[in-house]
Structure 1
């Protein structure tokens, strides 16, 4: 397959997948982000990279954000938000963390590829992405791309689209740039 054929197929998959995202779910997610005192991300692997992109942009917007597992992560409180990216929506580590966050009175936002998952039952809002998770044979969705690539790409693009929507309501790109790292 040529490079151009690959990009055409990938863009077509993304267009189909992103077109199926529930806009009301995205608005609920934006509201949770807007209402949160602190925002925490819990995600692993490539989904974690995509999730980190979202929380980095939220930091640029002036939000207090953390990635679980980093040494500077503070305690989680009742007005905080935990964002989880989990294709299966069933990873025990994520379920345990989400349950704990809810026990502290916080909120949970889930990006997942699995409807009616255990994490979906816990989450205050979930964005379901119609894409395969790691084992495509276990999914009702298909992609030419390996494993969960379409899911991970979709998290990145949904996050960027959410940031654009939030920017219209609260902050300019120039203000965001002033919070960009200057030690590079």
Structure 2
């Protein structure tokens, strides 16, 4: 058994540390700016990336922001001044590219979190956070001991949690106040 297989958590933590230290903090700040300025925030992603985006929409709701997950039955239409935030490792998922184009046609802003800034979604985004991680697609430059896009997905969740901390600071909100927006019918 390899040392990595015997102790995967320290190896995963090292990968996350290496990846997150390479993320441009100015890009993260710019994303927080766009969220603050948006009328409503729509999030989208496919597969596990989509799950990370759903978690982010929940935290935005806890902050009292109008946030929606694209594809849910209660999600309204996007409008001018709104923000569509897409999480996509490859930046080439066809359905997500179509969403970005539609959002732009409605004069909404598009932001992206991706491994590939020069991807179709990356080129459509006015705000981009580049995550130098491996994706499930072959040919990405970053190596990972983890399968498929795990490193990207984990990194994206932590980056989005950092955005929440920035938004909490900007709005003067604390976790106790946010708990007032937590689901209570469970």
Task: Give the TM bin, normalised by the shorter chain.
Answer: over 0.9
The SS at the match of 2:7 is helix
**1:47 equivalenced with 2:52 (yes/no):** no
Aligned pair count?
Answer: 183
Compute the TM-score of the two structures, normalised by the length of structure 1.
0.96
2:85 is matched with which residue: 71, 80, 83? Answer: 83
Q: Please name the residue that 1:122 is paired with.
A: 124
CA–CA distance in 1 between the matches of 2:8 and 2:88? 26
- 2:105 match: 103
Question: 1:181 Cα deviation (Å)?
Answer: 0.5
Distance 2:34 2:170 in 1: 15
1:63 to 38, 59, 65: 65
Question: Which residue of structure 2 lines up, in the alignment, with residue 32 of structure 1?
Answer: 34
Deviation, 1:159, is 0.7
Instruction: Give how far 1:79 is off.
Output: 1.1
User: How far 1:40 moved relative to its partner?
Assistant: 0.7
Report how far residue 3 of structure 1 moved: 7.1
Q: Partner of 1:131 in structure 2?
A: 133
- RMSD of Structure 2 on Structure 1 (CA): 1.3
Q: Distance in 1 between matches of 2:103 and 2:67?
A: 15
What does residue range 166-177 of structure 1 map to in structure 2 within 5 Å?
166-170=167-171, 171-177=173-179
Runs in 1 of length 4+ with deviation above 3 angstroms? 1-4
Give matches, 1:12-23, under 5 Å. Answer: 12-23=14-25
Q: Is the 8 A contact 2:117 2:128 kept in 1?
A: no
- CA shift at 1:115, angstroms? 2.5
* Displacement after TM superposition at 1:19 (Å): 0.4
Q: Distance in 2 between matches of 1:93 and 1:138?
A: 22
Q: Give, in whole Å, the separation in 2 of the partners of 1:59 and 1:22.
A: 26
| Equivalent position SS for 2:181 | coil
Instruction: Tell me how far apart the structure 2 counterparts of residues 65 and 147 of structure 1 sit (CA, whole Å).
Output: 28
Determine helix, strand or coil for the equivalent of 1:42.
strand
Q: Distance in 1 between matches of 2:67 and 2:89?
A: 22
Distance, in Å, in 1 between the alignment partners of 2:165 and 2:92 is: 30
CA deviation digits over 1:16-38, x for unaligned, max 9? Answer: 00000011111110011001111
